Structure 1
Amino acid sequence: MSEPEIPAPLVEFGGAVPPAPPWFARAIAVEPERSRIIVHSAEIEMLTWGDRGKPGLLLLHGNGAHADWWSFIAPFFAADYRVAAFSWSGMGGSDHRATYSIDGFVAEIFAVADAAGLYDAGLPTVVAHSFGGFPMMAAVHSQGERFAAAVIVDTPFRPPGEPGGRPPNATNRPHRIYPTLTDALARFRFAPPQGCPNPFIADYMARKSLVEVGASDGGGWTWRFDPFLWHRFEVGDAPALLADPRCPVALVWGERSMLMPPTRIASMLALLPPGTPAVAIPDAEHHVMVDQPLAFISALRGLFAGWP
């Protein structure tokens, strides 16, 4: 018997903004400074919080997402850190490229860290969710001495010999254009499919994932990420990126994440150095900042307080 389809989280709201708790409203009211930098001829969208001169903290989002996935997380660290997030090329408000490479994404990491002033107080810490963990660990593998520490968040590094899956959003056709914002919001779903206990977070992410197009392009609303990205990019030998990291690494995952079964967690920890911190976020699936945002923030705070 097939599993029932998980409903799109915003359909029931009919385009209205779902009610949100006070902590979320306070967090998103802390507006980041928004800017753009050029990396290898492409404009990259960069968000920053907190004062220069504080320890640096860089936040990397997942596939098809954007820098504002961190806009309700970053303010909780801005009193103690200079925090930056950016949209990978081909995602969010950053430019699309003709081709993508792991080296190109690594270049974006260091360019943003430099431009945001994350090195002003020494080496920054970097946290990466999902797809973001692959370029982060490529950077750690090759230039990890430029980081104080790195945190992998629910990135599925497959064990050697395990066949790869089809990447989310691996289409080879242009995005559909929806006639109204309400229609587009109703189509927003998480990949991999999962429930959404906090639809106010999904709504915030969805609205910043969309762009309005003019009549010459059909008129309406469509997704901002490059639909052809996965046909122009290969991750390569991802598990090898875990071996011999050149800075301390921690592993965080959603306890109910379908991408992080116990066998995969064990295989990843076997490749990482002995004593690598390993933290499961209770009652969270893959998108831990959506499912358990405050528990996720507390887990990171706890890590940073006593590690590395």
Structure 2
Amino acid sequence: MPPDPTLSAPLAHLQGESPPAPAWFRDAVAVAPAIGRVSVRGARLETFAWGERGRPGLMLLHGSGAHAGWWRFTAPYLAEGYRVAALSWSGMGGSDWRETYDLDTFADEIEAVAEEAGLFAAGAPVMVGHSFGCFPMLTEAGRQAGRWRGAVIVDPPIFSPERRTGRRREDGRIGQHRIYPTLEAALARFRFAPVQPCDALYIADLIARESLKVVEGGWTWRFDPSMWARLALPDRAAMVRQARCPLALVTGARSDLMRPADAAYVQSLLPPGSPRIDLPEAYHHVMVDQPLAFVAALRTLLGLWPD
């Protein structure tokens, strides 16, 4: 069967035009973050921050190939009660690329950005990591007890033992991005990974535009295509067990990455009594699929947990 264009090229039919967006989204993205730069181990990182310094700290950590702008339509609502910060990992977004990548360096990036943004001013902050962002977050959570109040694991790529036996390893090839002659052509190639439906095309359009950069000959993606060939991950279950702060799990009820058996497996790795929230009608990219429900879930969770 030919690929479904609503999955493989959700923005192509728009021909470079931005789709209409609801008022809540327009209001959120109108709240411009404070954009900064922080140097960590020789790489300059792109940072975003919202909310007043002195409020409880909240660190938002995006997934693979994404960037800090993936939080632009949710962070302003969280910033009503928190000092919120986000970064683009080295090798992604507007941050510098590295010759090699490792989780300890990514964890150093979390600490440096959190310090620069003032997240520790009101005591131990909380981290929220989506997808790949869970791995640096769990590395950081395993370092020093008491430094972080808690860590929220959002639809992580941690799979049950039964499913791991049937999965391919991450692609280790070193490649190059294609260069598209126009912005319209580049936007037409945007898709989510893993591929999934997206009703909120105004969100897909925003993050796609901010995922691109101008280069000689046209437009291309901002993330380093060779990162996975230069990054080794330790045992994922061990990373969960070694965390030294409380953990919570948020999943998308329709996620094709974190399936029910995987979510049950991850939940079994968490300390007894750890919170679990399953967002109805959300796929893997929960902040895109159900952004307001995601905000409400985080607000409720952080208001009650950890004790």
Category of TM-score, reference length = shorter chain: over 0.9
| 2:291 paired residue number | 293
| 2:170 paired residue number | 167
**Structure 2 residue matching 1:226: 3-state secondary structure:** coil
| 1:142 paired residue number | 143
The AA in structure 1 aligned to 2:111 is F
> Quick one: distance in 1 between partners of 2:145 and 2:85?
18
Task: Encode CA deviations 1:147-167: one digit per residue, 9 max, x unaligned.
Answer: 011100001212347235343
Instruction: Tell me the C-alpha RMSD between the 2 structures.
Output: 1.6
| 1:257 paired residue number | 255
> Quick one: distance in 1 between partners of 2:70 and 2:182?
23
Q: How many residues align structurally?
A: 303
Give the TM-score of the pair, scaled to structure 1. 0.95
**Structure 1 residue matching 2:224: 3-state secondary structure:** coil
Are the counterparts in 2 of residues 245 and 272 from structure 1 also a CA contact under 8 Å? no
**Structure 1 residue matching 2:76: 3-state secondary structure:** helix
Task: Encode CA deviations 1:16-68: one digit per residue, 9 max, x unaligned.
Answer: 00100000000000000101010000000000011111110000000000000
* Residue 2 of structure 1, CA deviation: 9.1
Are the counterparts in 1 of residues 139 and 243 from structure 2 also a CA contact under 8 Å? no
Q: 1:144 to 1:15 in 2, by over 3 A?
A: farther
Give the TM-score of the pair, scaled to structure 2. 0.95
Q: After the TM superposition, which residues 141-220 of structure 1 pair with which residues of structure 2 at under 5 Å, given as runs? A: 141-160=142-161, 162-163=164-165, 164-167=167-170, 171-214=173-216, 219-220=217-218
Q: After the TM superposition, which residues 6-17 of structure 1 pair with which residues of structure 2 at under 5 Å, given as runs? A: 6-17=7-18
* Residue 172 of structure 1, CA deviation: 2.0
Are the counterparts in 2 of residues 244 and 273 from structure 1 also a CA contact under 8 Å? no
Moved more, 234-243 or 37-46: 234-243
**Structure 1 residue matching 2:143: 3-state secondary structure:** helix
* Residue 125 of structure 1, CA deviation: 0.7
**Structure 2 residue matching 1:239: 3-state secondary structure:** helix
Q: 1:257 to 1:233 in 2, by over 3 A?
A: same
**Structure 2 residue matching 1:143: 3-state secondary structure:** coil
Q: After the TM superposition, which residues 1-308 of structure 1 pair with which residues of structure 2 at under 5 Å, given as runs? A: 6-160=7-161, 162-163=164-165, 164-167=167-170, 171-214=173-216, 219-308=217-306
**Structure 1 residue matching 2:144: 3-state secondary structure:** helix
Task: Encode CA deviations 1:265-306: one digit per residue, 9 max, x unaligned.
Answer: 111111110011000000010000111111111110110111
List alignment gaps of at least 5 residues for structure 1: none
* Residue 202 of structure 1, CA deviation: 0.3
